[in-house]
């Protein structure tokens, strides 16, 4: 079986950071304990959400550092928004609890914290993409609870909408009716968590080339490249594609400027293969790299590639994620949607174009992030790494129970002595292997769905793959292994030899 490695783009980004009457009863109960964030779980989630026109839900894990940091800000924001007219509800779900994993799966929770905005009784779901401090959360949610697109009547309205270093989309119409206007408002409602929307009857209010606006038109303002672009295609799919493609810079820059971070997120969320160049922005060669990289980005912008330029000083988390070292800078990486990575270390500016061409021509070999293969592997629980998975797992003729863990995970630490006991129980059984792999330090094949730690898979002798999702006790592990294992049949010649030997002894 050939391994195809996959990675989570969102993980990289993290490494780089009621109806009123119905609400009244819920809020009164919570206010007695001075907690304004509603605690939801699998037993009350659907019933509660169905009664709310607007609710924000945080999916968290108690051990998550980012969640701990967010908690007091989230609670403070919930307190403030409880006085909003109508009140805005903030809730949370412990997605690490076994009973809530179905909820986490339904809402595509792949990391913590994940925050969702649910509208119309939960029928419409959007990602929360706002700030993580109390004041920022309050301001963002007040805007999200209002109209999706604001009517522009004055120049001040435009100035407030088109802020520096933000994307803003304005629809210009001869009247606020008709198919174009209806499609625009529907699109604004769908994408409101990501962009600022406005609509106007007066094209003269628009800055930056308003004389060129002649009819129903969508104008997208951006703080990079050509500053604004227009489209007259109001079909919803085409208009959404126009907005998504136009709101990503030719080259996304990752540096110490927080205003660039939303574009970094968009970079990793788009469907293209990702080209990432990391270098020291203060080096003498930085300008030469920028110039060459811009030329390459222009050449390949319509060929399924997106480009990012990252500063060495703030990209150390990215290096750990990709499995590279600082002494490899300048380094260029191409990452495909199926998880393959291609790496060129200590690259020179004049060699980038040829290397990208070799990738496009299919001449490059993928890079796999892996810890070193252990020289000794004598402990009861064996240590696997990315470079040994093919041999020790996929090509193994044994039954293998494999734990994917994270060194910082409390649940993994609690499980460790249990797995040790299970492994000791099978030490004399050559047919069964108990193993573990650090999923944060090794690329994980796409055959495995890792949504939290620990995740445990069992592979039978014949290659059947089953995920372990039961109580993590020694007895349950052994029962599971015995149920799913396959015995290794002795070769016929070996069986004949033993029979012959038995006759001689008789």
Distance CA 20, CA 367 (A): 55
Same structural domain for residues 37 and 139?
yes
The pLDDT of residue 200 is 94
CA atoms within 13 A on the CB side of 287: 1
Give the other-Cβ count within 10 Å of 141's Cβ: 23
Among positive and negative, which fits the CA dihedral 33, 35, 39, 45? positive
Same structural domain for residues 256 and 227?
no
In this prediction, the residues of the chain whose per-residue pLDDT falls under 70 are 1-34, 208-212, 488-506
Same structural domain for residues 95 and 137?
yes
The pLDDT of residue 146 is 87
- Which residues are catalytically annotated? 64, 67, 409, 412
The pLDDT of residue 153 is 93
Strand partners, 125: 118
Same structural domain for residues 31 and 119?
yes
Same structural domain for residues 314 and 345?
yes
Nearest to 34 by CA among 79, 89, 71: 79
Same structural domain for residues 59 and 140?
yes
Residues in the chain: 506
The pLDDT of residue 208 is 66
The pLDDT of residue 28 is 37
Distance of CA 161 to the CA centre of its chain: 29
Strand partners, 91: 38, 57
The pLDDT of residue 16 is 56
Residue at 502 is within a domain: no
Structural domain for 179, as ranges: 150-246
The pLDDT of residue 302 is 87
Same structural domain for residues 257 and 305?
yes
Residue at 367 is within a domain: no
Same structural domain for residues 154 and 106?
no
Distance CA 67, CA 60 (A): 6
Same structural domain for residues 340 and 403?
no
Quick one: 2 exposed, middle or buried, by C-beta within 10 A (0-12, 13-18, 19+)? exposed
Number of domain units in the chain: 4
The pLDDT of residue 293 is 97
The pLDDT of residue 489 is 58
Residue at 299 is within a domain: yes
Quick one: 245 exposed, middle or buried, by C-beta within 10 A (0-12, 13-18, 19+)? middle
Distance of CA 268 to the CA centre of its chain: 8
The pLDDT of residue 90 is 97
Indicate which CATH number applies to the domain containing 184: 3.40.30.10
CA atoms within 13 A on the CB side of 395: 8
pTM: 0.62
The pLDDT of residue 236 is 92
Tell me the Cα Rg of the chain: 28
């Amino acid at each position: 079986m050939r391994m195809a490695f996959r990675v989570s783009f969102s993980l990289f980004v993290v490494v780089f950071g009621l109806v009123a009457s119905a609400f009244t009863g819920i809020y009164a109960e919570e206010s007695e304990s001075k907690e304004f964030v509603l605690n939801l779980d699998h037993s009350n989630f659907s019933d509660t959400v169905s009664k709310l026109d607007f609710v924000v839900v945080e999916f968290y894990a108690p051990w998550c550092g980012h969640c701990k940091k967010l908690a007091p800000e989230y609670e403070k924001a919930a307190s403030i928004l409880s006085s909003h007219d109508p009140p805005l509800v903030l809730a949370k779900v412990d997605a690490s609890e076994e009973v809530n994993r179905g909820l986490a799966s339904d809402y595509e929770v792949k990391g913590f914290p994940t925050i969702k905005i649910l509208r119309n009784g939960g029928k419409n779901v959007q990602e929360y993409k706002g700030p993580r401090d109390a004041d920022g959360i309050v301001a963002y949610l007040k805007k999200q609870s209002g109209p999706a697109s604001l009517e522009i009547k004055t120049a001040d309205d435009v100035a407030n909408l088109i802020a520096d270093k933000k994307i803003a989309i304005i629809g210009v119409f001869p009247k606020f009716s008709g198919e174009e206007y209806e499609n625009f408002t529907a699109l604004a409602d769908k994408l409101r968590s990501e962009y600022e929307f406005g609509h106007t009857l007066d094209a003269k209010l628009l800055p930056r080339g308003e004389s060129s606006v002649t009819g129903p038109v969508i104008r997208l303002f951006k703080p990079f490249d050509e500053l604004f672009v227009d489209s007259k295609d109001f079909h919803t799919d085409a208009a959404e594609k126009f907005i998504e493609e136009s709101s990503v810079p030719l080259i996304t820059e990752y540096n110490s400027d927080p205003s660039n971070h939303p574009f970094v997120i968009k970079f990793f969320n788009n469907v293209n293969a990702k080209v990432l160049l990391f270098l020291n922005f203060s080096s003498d060669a930085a300008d030469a790299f920028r110039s060459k990289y811009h030329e390459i980005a222009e050449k390949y912008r319509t060929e399924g590639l997106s480009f990012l330029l990252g500063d060495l000083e703030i990209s150390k988390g990215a290096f750990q994620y990709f499995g590279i070292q600082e002494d490899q800078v300048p380094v260029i990486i191409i990452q495909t949607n199926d998880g393959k990575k291609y790496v060129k270390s200590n690259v020179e500016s004049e060699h980038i174009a040829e290397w990208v061409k070799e990738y496009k021509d299919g001449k490059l070999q993928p890079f796999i992030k892996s810890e070193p293969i252990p020289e000794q592997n004598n402990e009861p629980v064996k240590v696997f790494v990315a470079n040994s998975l093919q041999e020790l797992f996929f090509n193994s003729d044994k039954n293998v129970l494999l734990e994917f863990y994270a060194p910082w995970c409390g649940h993994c630490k609690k499980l460790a002595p249990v797995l040790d006991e299970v492994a000791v129980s099978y030490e004399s059984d050559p047919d069964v292997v108990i193993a573990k792999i650090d999923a944060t330090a090794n690329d994980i094949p796409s055959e495995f769905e890792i949504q939290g730690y620990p995740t445990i898979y069992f592979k039978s002798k014949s290659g059947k793959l089953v995920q372990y999702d039961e109580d993590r006790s020694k007895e349950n592990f052994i029962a599971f292994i015995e149920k799913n294992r396959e015995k290794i049949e002795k070769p016929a010649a070996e069986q004949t030899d033993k029979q012959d030997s038995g006759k001689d002894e008789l």
